[in-house]
Amino acid sequence: MSVYGENEDQGKYWNEKPGRSWVLHDHEMNNRFQNISDILFASLDAPNLSNVLDIGCGAGATTLRMAKSLSGRGTVTGIDISDALLGLAREKASAVENVTFTWADAQSYQFEPAGFDGAFSRFGVMFFADPVKAFANLRAALVPRSKLVFVCWAPLQDNPFFLEPMEVVSRHTNAPVIAPGTAPGPMAFGNRDYLSDILQRAGYQATEIVTRQTTLDTRQSPQEDAALMMKIGAGARMLFEAEPSKAQVHSVQEDFVRLSAAKRSGGITRYPATIHVVTATA
Ligand SMILES: C[S@@+](CC[C@H](N)C(=O)[O-])C[C@H]1O[C@@H](n2cnc3c(N)ncnc32)[C@H](O)[C@@H]1O
Protein backbone atom coordinates (compact mmCIF):
# COMPACT_ATOMS: atom_id res chain seq x y z
CA MET A 1 0.00 0.00 0.00
CA SER A 2 1.31 3.49 -0.77
CA VAL A 3 1.72 6.15 1.90
CA TYR A 4 -1.65 7.47 0.75
CA GLY A 5 -3.17 4.31 2.21
CA GLU A 6 -6.76 3.88 1.08
CA ASN A 7 -6.97 7.48 -0.12
CA GLU A 8 -4.83 7.42 -3.25
CA ASP A 9 -6.82 10.11 -5.14
CA GLN A 10 -6.83 12.61 -2.29
CA GLY A 11 -3.20 11.77 -1.51
CA LYS A 12 -2.21 12.71 -5.04
CA TYR A 13 -4.41 15.79 -5.02
CA TRP A 14 -2.89 17.19 -1.81
CA ASN A 15 0.69 16.33 -2.76
CA GLU A 16 0.60 17.59 -6.32
CA LYS A 17 -0.32 20.99 -7.77
CA PRO A 18 -3.35 21.85 -5.56
CA GLY A 19 -1.45 20.92 -2.38
CA ARG A 20 1.52 23.01 -3.51
CA SER A 21 -0.82 25.97 -4.12
CA TRP A 22 -1.95 25.67 -0.50
CA VAL A 23 1.72 25.76 0.56
CA LEU A 24 2.31 28.95 -1.43
CA HIS A 25 -0.82 30.66 -0.11
CA ASP A 26 -0.80 29.29 3.43
CA HIS A 27 -0.52 32.70 5.06
CA GLU A 28 -3.45 34.16 3.16
CA MET A 29 -5.66 31.08 3.63
CA ASN A 30 -5.04 31.31 7.36
CA ASN A 31 -6.11 34.96 7.33
CA ARG A 32 -9.33 33.95 5.60
CA PHE A 33 -9.94 31.13 8.11
CA GLN A 34 -9.11 33.19 11.22
CA ASN A 35 -12.75 33.63 12.33
CA ILE A 36 -13.33 29.92 11.82
CA SER A 37 -10.26 28.99 13.87
CA ASP A 38 -11.59 31.18 16.66
CA ILE A 39 -14.96 29.38 16.54
CA LEU A 40 -13.21 25.98 16.55
CA PHE A 41 -10.92 26.81 19.46
CA ALA A 42 -13.82 28.23 21.47
CA SER A 43 -15.43 24.78 21.16
CA LEU A 44 -12.32 22.92 22.32
CA ASP A 45 -11.68 22.29 25.99
CA ALA A 46 -7.94 22.98 25.60
CA PRO A 47 -7.21 23.68 29.31
CA ASN A 48 -8.21 20.11 30.15
CA LEU A 49 -6.33 18.38 27.33
CA SER A 50 -2.80 17.05 27.34
CA ASN A 51 -2.25 14.90 24.24
CA VAL A 52 -4.17 16.09 21.23
CA LEU A 53 -4.49 15.08 17.56
CA ASP A 54 -4.99 17.61 14.72
CA ILE A 55 -6.51 15.66 11.79
CA GLY A 56 -5.66 16.78 8.26
CA CYS A 57 -3.51 19.49 9.84
CA GLY A 58 -2.14 20.80 6.54
CA ALA A 59 0.59 23.39 7.05
CA GLY A 60 -0.01 23.31 10.80
CA ALA A 61 -1.65 26.66 11.68
CA THR A 62 -4.13 25.05 14.06
CA THR A 63 -1.55 22.52 15.31
CA LEU A 64 0.72 25.38 16.35
CA ARG A 65 -2.15 27.26 17.95
CA MET A 66 -2.97 24.16 19.99
CA ALA A 67 0.73 23.72 20.89
CA LYS A 68 0.67 27.24 22.31
CA SER A 69 -2.45 26.46 24.39
CA LEU A 70 -0.83 23.27 25.72
CA SER A 71 2.60 24.78 26.25
CA GLY A 72 4.33 23.38 29.34
CA ARG A 73 1.67 20.74 30.00
CA GLY A 74 0.88 18.82 26.82
CA THR A 75 1.68 17.89 23.25
CA VAL A 76 -0.09 17.96 19.91
CA THR A 77 0.35 15.69 16.90
CA GLY A 78 -0.66 16.81 13.43
CA ILE A 79 -1.45 14.09 10.91
CA ASP A 80 -1.76 14.78 7.21
CA ILE A 81 -1.60 12.90 3.92
CA SER A 82 0.33 15.75 2.23
CA ASP A 83 4.09 15.69 2.55
CA ALA A 84 4.12 19.05 0.74
CA LEU A 85 1.99 20.75 3.41
CA LEU A 86 3.75 18.97 6.28
CA GLY A 87 7.08 20.26 4.98
CA LEU A 88 5.88 23.81 5.64
CA ALA A 89 4.29 22.79 8.95
CA ARG A 90 7.62 21.35 10.16
CA GLU A 91 9.45 24.50 9.10
CA LYS A 92 7.01 26.70 11.05
CA ALA A 93 7.26 24.42 14.10
CA SER A 94 11.05 24.04 14.11
CA ALA A 95 11.42 25.98 17.36
CA VAL A 96 8.35 24.48 19.06
CA GLU A 97 8.94 21.54 21.39
CA ASN A 98 5.49 20.12 21.99
CA VAL A 99 4.52 19.38 18.36
CA THR A 100 5.07 16.35 16.14
CA PHE A 101 3.81 15.69 12.64
CA THR A 102 2.93 12.36 11.03
CA TRP A 103 2.73 11.86 7.29
CA ALA A 104 -0.06 9.29 6.86
CA ASP A 105 -3.61 8.57 5.80
CA ALA A 106 -5.75 9.21 8.90
CA GLN A 107 -8.28 6.63 7.69
CA SER A 108 -5.87 3.68 7.86
CA TYR A 109 -2.96 4.81 10.06
CA GLN A 110 -2.45 2.52 13.05
CA PHE A 111 -2.62 4.95 15.95
CA GLU A 112 -1.75 3.89 19.46
CA PRO A 113 -5.10 2.79 20.94
CA ALA A 114 -6.64 5.44 23.23
CA GLY A 115 -3.48 7.52 22.90
CA PHE A 116 -5.14 10.96 22.63
CA ASP A 117 -7.45 12.74 25.09
CA GLY A 118 -8.79 15.01 22.33
CA ALA A 119 -8.85 15.38 18.56
CA PHE A 120 -9.82 18.26 16.34
CA SER A 121 -9.76 19.46 12.76
CA ARG A 122 -10.26 22.57 10.71
CA PHE A 123 -11.60 21.30 7.39
CA GLY A 124 -9.37 18.19 7.34
CA VAL A 125 -11.90 15.36 7.68
CA MET A 126 -14.13 15.62 4.58
CA PHE A 127 -11.81 13.81 2.21
CA PHE A 128 -11.99 10.17 3.32
CA ALA A 129 -12.90 7.48 0.76
CA ASP A 130 -14.54 5.51 3.60
CA PRO A 131 -15.63 8.06 6.22
CA VAL A 132 -17.18 5.50 8.60
CA LYS A 133 -13.94 3.53 8.69
CA ALA A 134 -11.87 6.70 9.07
CA PHE A 135 -13.93 8.07 11.95
CA ALA A 136 -13.91 4.63 13.63
CA ASN A 137 -10.13 4.56 13.29
CA LEU A 138 -9.93 8.02 14.86
CA ARG A 139 -12.30 7.01 17.66
CA ALA A 140 -10.04 4.08 18.55
CA ALA A 141 -7.17 6.56 18.89
CA LEU A 142 -9.16 8.53 21.48
CA VAL A 143 -9.56 7.85 25.19
CA PRO A 144 -13.15 6.58 25.66
CA ARG A 145 -15.58 9.47 26.25
CA SER A 146 -13.09 12.09 25.09
CA LYS A 147 -14.11 14.52 22.34
CA LEU A 148 -13.56 14.87 18.63
CA VAL A 149 -14.33 18.46 17.55
CA PHE A 150 -14.17 19.66 13.98
CA VAL A 151 -15.47 22.25 11.58
CA CYS A 152 -16.67 21.44 8.07
CA TRP A 153 -18.57 23.37 5.43
CA ALA A 154 -22.37 23.59 5.41
CA PRO A 155 -24.07 23.09 1.99
CA LEU A 156 -22.82 24.83 -1.14
CA GLN A 157 -25.81 27.22 -1.40
CA ASP A 158 -24.94 28.61 2.06
CA ASN A 159 -21.33 29.29 1.05
CA PRO A 160 -20.96 32.02 -1.58
CA PHE A 161 -17.18 31.72 -1.15
CA PHE A 162 -17.52 28.42 -3.06
CA LEU A 163 -20.68 28.94 -5.08
CA GLU A 164 -20.08 32.36 -6.66
CA PRO A 165 -16.67 31.56 -8.19
CA MET A 166 -18.22 28.36 -9.58
CA GLU A 167 -21.05 30.40 -11.14
CA VAL A 168 -18.48 32.71 -12.72
CA VAL A 169 -16.57 29.77 -14.20
CA SER A 170 -19.82 28.25 -15.45
CA ARG A 171 -20.82 31.50 -17.16
CA HIS A 172 -17.55 31.68 -19.09
CA THR A 173 -16.91 28.02 -19.88
CA ASN A 174 -20.45 26.57 -20.04
CA ALA A 175 -19.37 23.92 -17.52
CA PRO A 176 -22.38 23.27 -15.26
CA VAL A 177 -22.26 23.97 -11.53
CA ILE A 178 -22.63 20.47 -10.17
CA ALA A 179 -23.76 20.00 -6.57
CA PRO A 180 -20.90 18.10 -4.93
CA GLY A 181 -23.03 15.52 -3.10
CA THR A 182 -21.21 13.40 -0.54
CA ALA A 183 -18.13 12.50 -2.59
CA PRO A 184 -14.83 13.13 -0.75
CA GLY A 185 -14.20 16.85 -0.98
CA PRO A 186 -14.75 20.10 0.93
CA MET A 187 -18.57 19.98 0.81
CA ALA A 188 -18.98 16.24 1.58
CA PHE A 189 -20.53 16.86 5.02
CA GLY A 190 -22.95 19.66 4.17
CA ASN A 191 -25.89 17.39 4.94
CA ARG A 192 -26.21 17.21 8.72
CA ASP A 193 -28.21 13.95 8.74
CA TYR A 194 -25.62 12.23 6.56
CA LEU A 195 -22.80 13.42 8.81
CA SER A 196 -24.60 12.45 11.99
CA ASP A 197 -25.24 8.96 10.59
CA ILE A 198 -21.56 8.50 9.70
CA LEU A 199 -20.45 9.40 13.21
CA GLN A 200 -23.04 7.13 14.76
CA ARG A 201 -21.99 4.23 12.53
CA ALA A 202 -18.36 4.93 13.43
CA GLY A 203 -19.29 4.27 17.07
CA TYR A 204 -19.42 7.75 18.62
CA GLN A 205 -21.76 7.87 21.58
CA ALA A 206 -23.21 11.33 21.01
CA THR A 207 -22.88 13.96 18.35
CA GLU A 208 -23.77 17.64 18.40
CA ILE A 209 -23.79 19.64 15.16
CA VAL A 210 -24.14 23.40 15.48
CA THR A 211 -24.46 25.38 12.24
CA ARG A 212 -22.80 28.79 12.43
CA GLN A 213 -22.57 31.76 10.13
CA THR A 214 -19.33 33.64 9.87
CA THR A 215 -17.20 35.43 7.29
CA LEU A 216 -13.95 34.74 5.49
CA ASP A 217 -12.07 38.03 5.57
CA THR A 218 -9.15 39.31 3.57
CA ARG A 219 -7.32 42.61 3.37
CA GLN A 220 -5.89 41.63 -0.02
CA SER A 221 -6.82 43.87 -2.94
CA PRO A 222 -9.53 42.50 -5.27
CA GLN A 223 -6.78 41.78 -7.83
CA GLU A 224 -4.72 39.77 -5.30
CA ASP A 225 -7.85 38.07 -4.01
CA ALA A 226 -8.87 37.11 -7.57
CA ALA A 227 -5.38 35.75 -8.25
CA LEU A 228 -5.76 33.49 -5.22
CA MET A 229 -9.24 32.38 -6.34
CA MET A 230 -7.65 31.32 -9.64
CA LYS A 231 -5.41 28.91 -7.70
CA ILE A 232 -7.38 27.64 -4.70
CA GLY A 233 -10.98 26.69 -4.09
CA ALA A 234 -14.00 25.38 -5.90
CA GLY A 235 -13.82 27.91 -8.75
CA ALA A 236 -10.15 27.13 -9.41
CA ARG A 237 -10.82 23.41 -9.44
CA MET A 238 -13.78 23.76 -11.79
CA LEU A 239 -11.80 26.07 -14.10
CA PHE A 240 -8.90 23.61 -14.24
CA GLU A 241 -11.26 20.76 -15.14
CA ALA A 242 -12.99 22.83 -17.85
CA GLU A 243 -9.68 23.09 -19.77
CA PRO A 244 -10.38 26.76 -20.63
CA SER A 245 -8.96 28.88 -23.44
CA LYS A 246 -6.70 31.82 -22.56
CA ALA A 247 -9.59 34.21 -23.26
CA GLN A 248 -11.87 32.30 -20.88
CA VAL A 249 -9.21 32.34 -18.17
CA HIS A 250 -8.87 36.10 -18.61
CA SER A 251 -12.65 36.69 -18.41
CA VAL A 252 -12.96 34.51 -15.31
CA GLN A 253 -10.16 36.40 -13.57
CA GLU A 254 -11.79 39.76 -14.40
CA ASP A 255 -15.08 38.58 -12.92
CA PHE A 256 -13.31 37.27 -9.81
CA VAL A 257 -11.93 40.79 -9.33
CA ARG A 258 -15.49 42.19 -9.61
CA LEU A 259 -16.80 39.55 -7.21
CA SER A 260 -14.20 40.46 -4.62
CA ALA A 261 -14.62 44.24 -5.08
CA ALA A 262 -18.40 43.93 -4.56
CA LYS A 263 -17.79 42.43 -1.10
CA ARG A 264 -15.24 45.02 -0.05
CA SER A 265 -15.86 47.65 2.59
CA GLY A 266 -13.43 49.61 4.79
CA GLY A 267 -10.41 47.86 3.21
CA ILE A 268 -11.70 44.34 4.00
CA THR A 269 -13.38 41.85 1.67
CA ARG A 270 -15.79 39.62 3.59
CA TYR A 271 -17.28 36.44 2.15
CA PRO A 272 -20.29 35.13 4.09
CA ALA A 273 -19.67 31.52 5.10
CA THR A 274 -21.63 28.82 6.91
CA ILE A 275 -19.98 25.98 8.77
CA HIS A 276 -20.97 23.06 10.94
CA VAL A 277 -19.21 22.84 14.31
CA VAL A 278 -19.27 19.16 15.22
CA THR A 279 -18.58 17.64 18.63
CA ALA A 280 -18.62 13.85 18.92
CA THR A 281 -18.00 11.77 22.04
CA ALA A 282 -15.70 8.77 21.52
C1 LIG B 1 -8.74 22.00 3.35
S2 LIG B 1 -7.20 21.38 3.89
C3 LIG B 1 -7.18 21.93 5.57
C4 LIG B 1 -5.79 21.94 6.16
C5 LIG B 1 -5.70 22.48 7.59
N6 LIG B 1 -6.51 21.72 8.52
C7 LIG B 1 -6.04 23.94 7.64
O8 LIG B 1 -7.12 24.29 8.13
O9 LIG B 1 -5.22 24.75 7.16
C10 LIG B 1 -7.52 19.62 4.03
C11 LIG B 1 -6.34 18.83 4.56
O12 LIG B 1 -6.74 17.47 4.76
C13 LIG B 1 -5.66 16.65 4.39
N14 LIG B 1 -6.17 15.29 4.11
C15 LIG B 1 -7.01 14.91 3.13
N16 LIG B 1 -7.24 13.58 3.21
C17 LIG B 1 -6.53 13.11 4.26
C18 LIG B 1 -6.35 11.82 4.84
N19 LIG B 1 -6.96 10.74 4.34
N20 LIG B 1 -5.55 11.70 5.91
C21 LIG B 1 -4.89 12.79 6.42
N22 LIG B 1 -5.02 14.03 5.91
C23 LIG B 1 -5.84 14.20 4.85
C24 LIG B 1 -5.08 17.36 3.16
O25 LIG B 1 -3.78 16.94 2.84
C26 LIG B 1 -5.16 18.82 3.60
O27 LIG B 1 -4.01 19.22 4.27
pLDDT tens, position by position, 171-203: 999 999 988 899 999 999 999 999 999 999 999
**CA-closest candidate to residue 221, choices 249, 160, 166, 263:** 263
**Per the domain annotation, does 253 fall within a domain?**
no
Q: 145 — alpha (psi -120 to 50), left (phi > 0) or beta?
A: left
Confidence at residue 2, expressed as pLDDT on a 0 to 100 scale: 67
Confidence at residue 48, expressed as pLDDT on a 0 to 100 scale: 94
Distance 57 CA to ligand 1 centre (A): 6
Please tell me what DSSP assigns to residue 44. Answer: S
Confidence at residue 16, expressed as pLDDT on a 0 to 100 scale: 86
Instruction: Give the model's confidence band at 81: pLDDT under 50 very low, under 70 low, under 90 confident, else very high.
Output: very high
Distance 118 CA to ligand 1 centre (A): 18
How many folded domains does the chain comprise?
1
Ligand 1 atom showing the smallest separation from residue 107 Cα: 19
**Per the domain annotation, does 98 fall within a domain?**
yes
Q: What is the CATH number of the domain that holds 103?
A: 3.40.50.150
Give me the residues paired with residue 17 across strands.
none
**Per the domain annotation, does 171 fall within a domain?**
no
At 112-170, the pLDDT tens digits run 999 999 999 999 999 999 999 999 999 999 999 999 999 999 999 999 989 999 999 99
**Per the domain annotation, does 51 fall within a domain?**
yes
Confidence at residue 111, expressed as pLDDT on a 0 to 100 scale: 98
Confidence at residue 17, expressed as pLDDT on a 0 to 100 scale: 82
Q: How many other β-carbons are positioned within 10 Å of the β-carbon of residue 143?
A: 14
Q: Is residue 61 within 6 Å of ligand 1 at its C-beta?
A: yes
At 226-240, the pLDDT tens digits run 999 999 989 998 999
The residue ranges of DSSP E strands in 203-251, in sequence order, are 206-218
Provide the H-helix boundaries in 103-229: 131-140, 160-173, 192-201, 222-229
**Per the domain annotation, does 163 fall within a domain?**
no
Query: For residue 1, is pLDDT > 60?
Result: no
Q: Whose CA is nearest to atom 8 of ligand 1?
A: 122
Domain region containing 15 = 8-155+182-215+273-281
At 27-74, the pLDDT tens digits run 999 999 999 999 999 999 999 999 999 999 999 999 999 999 999 899
**Per the domain annotation, does 225 fall within a domain?**
no
Q: How many other β-carbons are positioned within 10 Å of the β-carbon of residue 112?
A: 9
How large a percentage of the chain has pLDDT more than 70?
Answer: 99
At 108-126, the pLDDT tens digits run 999 999 999 999 999 999 9
Ligand 1 atom showing the smallest separation from residue 29 Cα: 9
Distance 89 CA to ligand 1 centre (A): 12
**Per the domain annotation, does 88 fall within a domain?**
yes
**Per the domain annotation, does 175 fall within a domain?**
no
Phi, psi of 254 (to 5 degrees): -60, -40
Q: How many other β-carbons are positioned within 10 Å of the β-carbon of residue 206?
A: 12
Contact partners, residue 108, CB within 8 Å, separation at least 6 = 1, 5, 6, 7, 133, 137
At 18-31, the pLDDT tens digits run 888 899 999 999 99
